[in-house]
Amino acid sequence: MFLFLFLILSLGTLGAEPISNFAFYNLKEERIVLSNSLENFSEKDVLILNFTGSQCKPCKEQVPVLLNLTAQSNLSAVGKWKTHLWIVFVGDDFRTGKEYSDLLKLGGVAESLVDPLSSSYSQVKIKGVPTVFILNRNREILFRSEGYTPAGVASLKNFLSSFGK
């Protein structure tokens, strides 16, 4: 049973359960509400929502992979849909979020957000970082993966390449 649960969590899950609506802060310290932002997406757009932390080594390794997968997805989907990427620094203050956003070269490629009070753990029910969700415009969870493993990356890549076909 434990092995099965581990495989599900590391390979990602599919389903159309909605994620709770919650707010983050961008690096300008402006409040960003998930549902309000998703209203600006087209029906086919998806959001990769990555929960990360400045003290998490696997998180720092995962972010460049997510940037690459987002770019590849957008190249293959030109004119059909767009893949958006949000990186949420959980438990980090604005200064640290900006510092790591710069270090990871996120400017202009991904939306950098902070959750300084770590409310993501209770609101979104994440167990730790890194955790990746793919959401549609209606806040439905299309994909979820916890941790950073080669199997998780392969599962995410397969999901993105099959999305919209």
> The domain spanning residue 136 has which CATH number?
3.40.30.10
pTM (2 decimals)?
A: 0.88
Containing structural domain, residue 66: 2-162
Q: What is the pLDDT of residue 79?
A: 86
DSSP 64: H
Give tens-digit pLDDT for 103-151. Answer: 999 999 999 999 999 999 998 889 999 999 999 999 999 999 999 999 9
Q: 53 near 60, Cβ under 8 Å?
A: no
Phi-psi region of 9 (alpha: psi -120 to 50; beta: other; left: phi over 0): alpha
- Range of weakest confidence among 42-51, 59-68, 71-80: 71-80
Cβ-in-10-Å burial (0-12, 13-18, 19+) of 130 comes to buried
Number of domains comprising the chain: 1
> What average pLDDT does the chain have?
89
Q: What is the pLDDT of residue 7?
A: 38
Q: Residue 48 above 50 pLDDT?
A: yes
Query: Which amino acid, one-letter code, is at 22?
Result: F
Q: What is the pLDDT of residue 163?
A: 79
- In percent, the amount of the chain with pLDDT more than 90 equals 76
Q: Is the dihedral of CA 52, 58, 64, 65 positive or negative?
A: negative
**What six digits make up the tokens of 147?**
């941790």
- For residue 124, the SS3 value is coil
Q: Residue 50 above 50 pLDDT?
A: yes
